[in-house]
């Protein structure tokens, strides 16, 4: 079992090789410019296509480098998710369960390529996520909503973005993109049994390996006395 005093930082697969891809695109572009100086008239269409390919490569490399250095940080007391649009942070004591997201269709068990996190209460995430990230997650998780509609886990009406005010159990009224995100979490929880979802692209290994690791932290935290 993982040492409860250890902090593990996970670098997302999405960030891998970002510098190499960027530099490869830049070097290839410089070489093409040199060739273009002598052979532009003979092969301008081919050169134009190759220049566009280089620009796309550079763009992809820069996007990779824009990702946070570490997408997930597992500390003895907290789990933190970093995204280029913000972050959320939870105490392990606020998490009910962590699991791979699956759905059974007939006799087939489908893996959805996400880690699911079920919270003790949805109120927790309202004060733990940045507004920019909440707004972004609504759009990034559209494939999950579409899957749920297709599998009739939710209705089309439930899958429509809902920005109506959201009332927490404390009575506080949440409005705007955060309210939309909370409604979004509610619907996905009803369909898939989790409030938060971490895409496999944010991991550096398999979903099962991460779930096993996170469950060790969760168990250690719940066995430890709650600090006052």
**How high is the pLDDT of residue 24?**
72
- Measured between alpha carbons, how far is 31 from 130 in angstroms, rounded to an integer? 43
**How high is the pLDDT of residue 84?**
83
pTM given for the model:
0.76
Characterize 11-44 residue by residue with b for buried, 16 or more Cβ atoms within 10 angstroms of its Cβ, and e for exposed: bbbbbeebeebbeebeebbeebeeebeeeeeeee
**How high is the pLDDT of residue 55?**
76
**How high is the pLDDT of residue 57?**
72
Give the residue ranges of the chain where pLDDT is below 70.
1-5, 12-22, 25, 29, 35-41, 43-44, 47, 54, 59-68, 224-228
**How high is the pLDDT of residue 1?**
44
- Give the Cβ contact number of residue 45 at 10 Å: 7
Short-list 132, 139, 30, CA closest to 83? 132
**How high is the pLDDT of residue 182?**
94
Short-list 84, 53, 69, CA closest to 18? 69
């Amino acid at each position: 079992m993982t040492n409860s005093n250890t902090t593990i930082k996970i670098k997302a697969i999405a960030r891998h090789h970002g510098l190499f891809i960027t530099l490869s695109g830049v070097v290839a572009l410089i070489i093409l410019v040199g060739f273009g100086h002598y052979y532009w008239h003979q092969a301008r269409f081919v050169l134009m296509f190759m220049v566009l390919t280089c620009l796309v490569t550079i763009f992809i490399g820069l996007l990779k480098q824009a990702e946070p250095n570490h997408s997930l940080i597992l500390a003895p007391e907290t789990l933190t998710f970093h995204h280029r649009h913000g972050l959320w942070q939870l105490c392990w004591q606020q998490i009910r369960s962590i699991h791979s997201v699956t759905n059974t269709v007939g006799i087939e068990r489908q893996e959805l390529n996400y880690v699911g996190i079920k919270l003790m209460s949805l109120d927790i995430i309202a004060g733990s996520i940045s507004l920019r990230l909440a707004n972004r997650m609504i759009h990034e998780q559209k494939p999950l909503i579409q899957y749920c509609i297709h599998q009739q886990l939710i209705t089309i009406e439930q899958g429509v973005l809902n920005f109506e005010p959201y009332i927490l159990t404390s009575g506080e009224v949440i409005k705007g993109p955060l309210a939309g995100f909370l409604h979004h979490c509610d619907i996905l929880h009803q369909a898939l049994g989790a409030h938060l979802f971490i895409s496999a692209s944010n991991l550096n290994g398999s979903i099962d390996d991460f779930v096993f690791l996170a469950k060790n932290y969760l168990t250690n935290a719940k066995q430890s006395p709650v600090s006052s």
